[in-house]
Structure 1
């Protein structure tokens, strides 16, 4: 306990130049102000952050008046929910009026009402570890629901009955899974039971809010914990049904892998490799696209599973089917077009490497591999490597060496030919000049012919490309 107190004191000293002055401004105006939620929890865990959540007795108009002239910037995008945001130096601060909000049984939007005291505000929060507060500027600690004890035991529990909490805001069920993944905490049995019994209540939550929680979960340090909880409670069946569908019944001879467990393992192995995507400052990691692709790369298998007469199992074209399912699910969850296309491309291409064999691809095939992957090539490298979950060390080593060889060949060709920007050796203007034609369908056909020539034979001199183009044109022209 003493160590926790020291960590909190050190964190309060670190953020003191911001919160103490702000606390005095609110106190002088006759209002209370508390640091609350995640920042208090993370201070106890020794996890520093620059985003501060505060709660106050002041209503939004008064909050806005008090921070203007003090903050470097102020925004009110959350005013409808009682929140005013601002920035002070490097700090991002959100100040929310004491509130009480709940979802009516048939509504996708919460009804927001302002509360009157801190205890009521803390009582409506999701979990006890997020229901602790520190008053400002006097730094008095408030923990009416035993959050510090639950923090010490690393358990997620609701301040009141979980059924009441999840009825007020069903998204808290997904947040339980997300915090389990982020913090590595266990979820109390009564909370798991309520999540299971009330899973269908998640249907009233908008796709965008579900998506945001799913992204946070997948990008957490231990996503397997959270995903397994979603599957166990039946929530996954409602928000990402393709995941529990991977729990295929195994055939009596166990001739195919447990696809669900395999997918979770591929996700974890992809996480171990995603540092390849990080910039010099570590930016870009965690990477949702590569993690989500790893998680769902095999979602086409349930649709394509076939048992053969010899008892073996096939999943022909599960890559193509999986890409279609990926697009459908991600669009339903309102992901951006860029994310949908990136993940779908990775799912569609995740088997392509297995045609490489022992390095028998021609340079043309390697170029096509790079072209088809496009800007997802590095992620495809990660996914393909992570997809090897065999316990046969010799087989795993062979696959790793083979992929090393493919990457080496890509690097050599990239240095020689600028593979990242493969284009025909003649552009559209040159094509029209040589063939004496104007813009139209025929220019596109000629462009595609030259691109295929470039893929098959590598870079051409302008003279060779022109000769090939004229021969192709003469052969197709009546």
Structure 2
């Protein structure tokens, strides 16, 4: 038995309680059912998760009836696409009626039509490695398009002509890039050619679906491979145009880095540093901030008379560009704000020089980063891509020192919760005023004092407040 077969057999044994019972239920009702797509592929790769996909001859209402009394919970959110979902123990199950779907040339949504055979269903799937199935309950293997051979060679091909496949669902072009990153597969030349020729067709896909594929790609083990494919085929020009724009035309003296290559290196280095984050990785916010941190450079590049190149304020410009792109892709407000803030702050450390920052500057660094501070640490460290080892070591030591100072100040002052030494109620009581702008102005003044000088006693804070109020009178 080959290694692939051994892995598949072990995986099938692990899910036997699910597949055998489902197979028996559907067969008794005169319906066909098969484990299909990603779970079959992943079983052969030894990476089967707890999400199982099935395809069946049964219509959704029949599937739902057959699941009642067996599943722990049932949902029909995908009914319009022929899909009924359920949970059985630790397993998440989706069962979809054989189907044949395609996109109208100008539509964002597929037209769904039910199919009448497993072979027809497999023929409409995205790639041959996802067009394999295991019939139930007898567990016979179906592979009409040579998916197991492509799996062995780790290559992505389409069951039919790639042009037909991508015309039916243009998102499959992004999925090819995602699988290249996620599985470490190469994309067949004819598939790449079709992606290049049809790149503009991705624009009919909804921003939400594009976003979801982009997140999966960025959070994959090797995002550089998929991102490179998006750029080389022209897909990135439509879904993330800021990325190919980083491939700036070099000046004749090559006095600045290749920003595109630098960005991909920063992304890879940020991934290597994810163990520093409280939740570990993969962390989309951290990775996307690394990908977007220099997107303001093309717009701010200036050549000086002496031949040097500047990118003044590219952090601020980049943050605005990032926010606009993430809003266009329908990212959540929280993720958009977090990534944009990291882009805006990514240069702040370079003002630290050789450690001359005052405690006040360190407090402001922590205050401005807020709960993004661990991610800012990662981004700042990852942004060092110099080949000068002495310079790299110096930057690393300097940032080590900054983190140590933050830790020491945090022990004394609770930097992660910096606030004035008097709250709003105390301010109103001391000044004898009611709620209003004056309270906000006093609060802001005391916060600045707190950042500049550290914690004050109640009496010192009260005296400072009264002095401030007197000066305004």
TM-score, normalisation: structure 1: 0.98
- Separation in structure 1 between the aligned mates of residue 66 and residue 416 of structure 2, nearest angstrom: 53
Matched, 1:48 2:44: no
- Separation in structure 1 between the aligned mates of residue 209 and residue 16 of structure 2, nearest angstrom: 33
Structure 2 gap ranges (5+)? none
In the other structure, the counterpart of 1:37 is 37
- Separation in structure 2 between the aligned mates of residue 226 and residue 331 of structure 1, nearest angstrom: 22
In the other structure, the counterpart of 1:75 is 75
- Aligned pair partner of 2:385 in 360, 383, 389: 389
- Of 309-318 and 41-50, more deviation after overlay is shown by 41-50
* Secondary structure at the counterpart of residue 425 of structure 1: coil
Matched, 1:204 2:193: no
Matches within 5 A, 1:171-182: 171-182=171-182
Deviation at 1:278? 4.6
Is the Cα contact below 8 Å between 2:271 and 2:281 reproduced in 1?
A: no
In the other structure, the counterpart of 1:84 is 84
- Aligned pair partner of 2:428 in 429, 432, 451: 432
In the other structure, the counterpart of 1:246 is 246
Matched, 1:133 2:133: yes
In the other structure, the counterpart of 2:334 is 338
Matched, 1:312 2:308: yes
The C-alpha deviation readout for 1:296-320, integer Å capped at 9, x for no partner, is: 1000000000000001000000000
- Separation in structure 1 between the aligned mates of residue 423 and residue 101 of structure 2, nearest angstrom: 60
Matches within 5 A, 1:348-427: 348-427=344-423
- Separation in structure 2 between the aligned mates of residue 273 and residue 155 of structure 1, nearest angstrom: 30
- The RMSD of aligned alpha carbons is 0.7
* Secondary structure at the counterpart of residue 93 of structure 1: strand
- Separation in structure 1 between the aligned mates of residue 446 and residue 410 of structure 2, nearest angstrom: 19
- Separation in structure 1 between the aligned mates of residue 156 and residue 361 of structure 2, nearest angstrom: 52
- Aligned pair partner of 1:471 in 446, 456, 467: 467
Matches within 5 A, 1:102-181: 102-181=102-181
In the other structure, the counterpart of 2:229 is 229
The C-alpha deviation readout for 1:109-140, integer Å capped at 9, x for no partner, is: 11000000000000000000000000112110
- Separation in structure 2 between the aligned mates of residue 135 and residue 290 of structure 1, nearest angstrom: 42
TM-score, normalisation: structure 2: 0.99
Deviation at 1:464? 0.3
Structure 1 gap ranges (5+)? none
The C-alpha deviation readout for 1:261-297, integer Å capped at 9, x for no partner, is: 0000000000000112254xxxx52000000000110
Matched, 1:286 2:294: no
- Separation in structure 2 between the aligned mates of residue 463 and residue 37 of structure 1, nearest angstrom: 70
- Separation in structure 1 between the aligned mates of residue 56 and residue 330 of structure 2, nearest angstrom: 33
- Separation in structure 2 between the aligned mates of residue 249 and residue 88 of structure 1, nearest angstrom: 56
* Secondary structure at the counterpart of residue 254 of structure 1: coil
In the other structure, the counterpart of 1:455 is 451
* Secondary structure at the counterpart of residue 249 of structure 2: coil
Deviation at 1:48? 2.6
Is the Cα contact below 8 Å between 2:41 and 2:129 reproduced in 1?
A: yes
In the other structure, the counterpart of 1:187 is 187
In the other structure, the counterpart of 1:100 is 100
In the other structure, the counterpart of 1:13 is 13
The C-alpha deviation readout for 1:379-433, integer Å capped at 9, x for no partner, is: 0000000000000000000000000000000011111111111110000000000
- Separation in structure 2 between the aligned mates of residue 218 and residue 305 of structure 1, nearest angstrom: 27
